[in-house]
Chain A
């Protein structure tokens, strides 16, 4: 019984962390058709901002939930203005340029923080269920993911931005024809996406020691979760995060955490191979040969 409870929490945690990791990428990709290969670095920037703020004496929750998203959103706006906006509609070029950004940020973080592991302690203590110890912080991650999904649902359903966002995701060609506002919408979208990445990186930071290259671990997971999710932003995010989260945890329990990660990636390759049209047909036109 205790084991089942612990496992349930672990599964939920795996799904929640995938939702967090992918949300920022999903927003940017869904609305702008930009694949941001620097997504992982945006996340670790959120982590570094949090650590810096905490070291300066800021409350850890304020640092994670407010300061980090704002700081990364600001970085996102600068990046969008300087680089991304010149490359709209050129999917491959944006992938390459954001890959360049990814390397740039890795280098920058190395210069500032050094090529060592930086971290902060988990702000919520663990506790025991029967014979098993459980990480109290997992509940916080799950809570943040649930709140995030709820907030996204409310924004998409009720606000003007949400309406435009849903329109853009359903019919990008028509949305683009609406004209004058697209520039501002894209900038806002990229800022929101960046903020989400920053938030994810911040709340996950206490669980993992940060090194400048940590972003690479996130980008593949975020990628495949978003792509497998398909055009329905929220439903896609939840379903693919659940699928991959469960795959990951199953193999983690039965074999080892690393095999869990490998299994997740292999599952993604197989899934993309089997369902190139069904899940994602609306994002990329399929080759007809």
Chain B
């Protein structure tokens, strides 16, 4: 069991009287790729935000690589080596692609020349060279998403948390993103909150289904898809 990198026990979060997240036990192994699905309000985003530190859980515990991180501020969790991408592209719009990547590199490489070298590496790896001096604010949605993946990748994370990475992407963007995800997954465990079943199938993984703040099912993609309970609460009308 030593390869479990993330674990929660009894994790809960209440908003007023409503339990958005209710007593969730969850664990993730090293280099595992896990998708979280569920209808709106099922608690998957609340769960995600508790993991990233954007929300403070009302109850329960979170452990990352054996260390309890419950209630830590975002920056401390990120500093452990956790790469986080929120739903809306969150980048520095007034700065160039290069400056954006540099800001991520400099967090992990105190020496300036190391940070510069790491920046160049990432720009080359994502083929961002031609646009590296463009302002983020002027880039297309897909390009901004890519840069944000660059920010995540630069830190060499061992755990990556992604909130709807495929939202608003064109089919070509989607292909690129799944490539990047696979590459990241070589070294990092991953949690992806996602709606798009097609996309989930393309990155084939284990799925945790949330419903009413609890974990409903946890299984392989195909078995989840054919699970009648899951079809009832979530896929029933569409699949």
What residues of chain A have their CB less than 8 Å away from a CB belonging to chain B? 288-289
Contact = CB atoms under 8 A, between A and B. Distances in A.
Nearest to A289: B74
B87 to A, nearest CB: 12
A289 B74 CA distance: 7
Contacts of B74: 289
Interface residues of B, number: 4
Contacts of B54: 288-289
List 5 tightest A-B contacts by C-beta distance, closest first: A288-B54, A289-B74, A289-B54, A289-B75, A289-B73
A289 B73 CA distance: 8
Nearest to A288: B54
A288 B54 CA distance: 6
Interface string B51-88: 00010000000000000000001110000000000000
A289 B52 CA distance: 10
A83 B143 CA distance: 38
A279 to B, nearest CB: 16
Chain A interface SS verdict (over half): loop
A63 to B, nearest CB: 50
B124 to A, nearest CB: 31
A289 B53 CA distance: 8
Contacts of A289: 54, 73-75
B43 to A, nearest CB: 18
A124 to B, nearest CB: 49
Contacts of B73: 289
A288 B53 CA distance: 10
B13 to A, nearest CB: 14
A77 to B, nearest CB: 37
A288 B75 CA distance: 12
A288 B50 CA distance: 12
A171 to B, nearest CB: 19
A289 B75 CA distance: 8
B185 to A, nearest CB: 27
Contacts of A288: 54
5 contacts: A288-B54, A289-B54, A289-B73, A289-B74, A289-B75
A91 B131 CA distance: 33
A285 to B, nearest CB: 13
B14 to A, nearest CB: 15
A289 B54 CA distance: 6
Nearest to B86: A288
A266 B137 CA distance: 40
A56 B74 CA distance: 65
A110 B54 CA distance: 51
A286 to B, nearest CB: 11
A288 B48 CA distance: 14
A289 B56 CA distance: 11
Interface string B136-167: 00000000000000000000000000000000
B163 to A, nearest CB: 13
A288 B88 CA distance: 13
A94 B59 CA distance: 42
Nearest to B53: A289
A87 to B, nearest CB: 21
A106 B75 CA distance: 46
B78 to A, nearest CB: 11
B94 to A, nearest CB: 16
A276 to B, nearest CB: 15
Contacts of B75: 289
B182 to A, nearest CB: 30
Nearest to B54: A288
A171 B75 CA distance: 33
A288 B55 CA distance: 8
A252 B74 CA distance: 44
B86 to A, nearest CB: 9
A278 to B, nearest CB: 12
A262 B19 CA distance: 42
A73 B33 CA distance: 63
B55 to A, nearest CB: 9
A288 B90 CA distance: 12
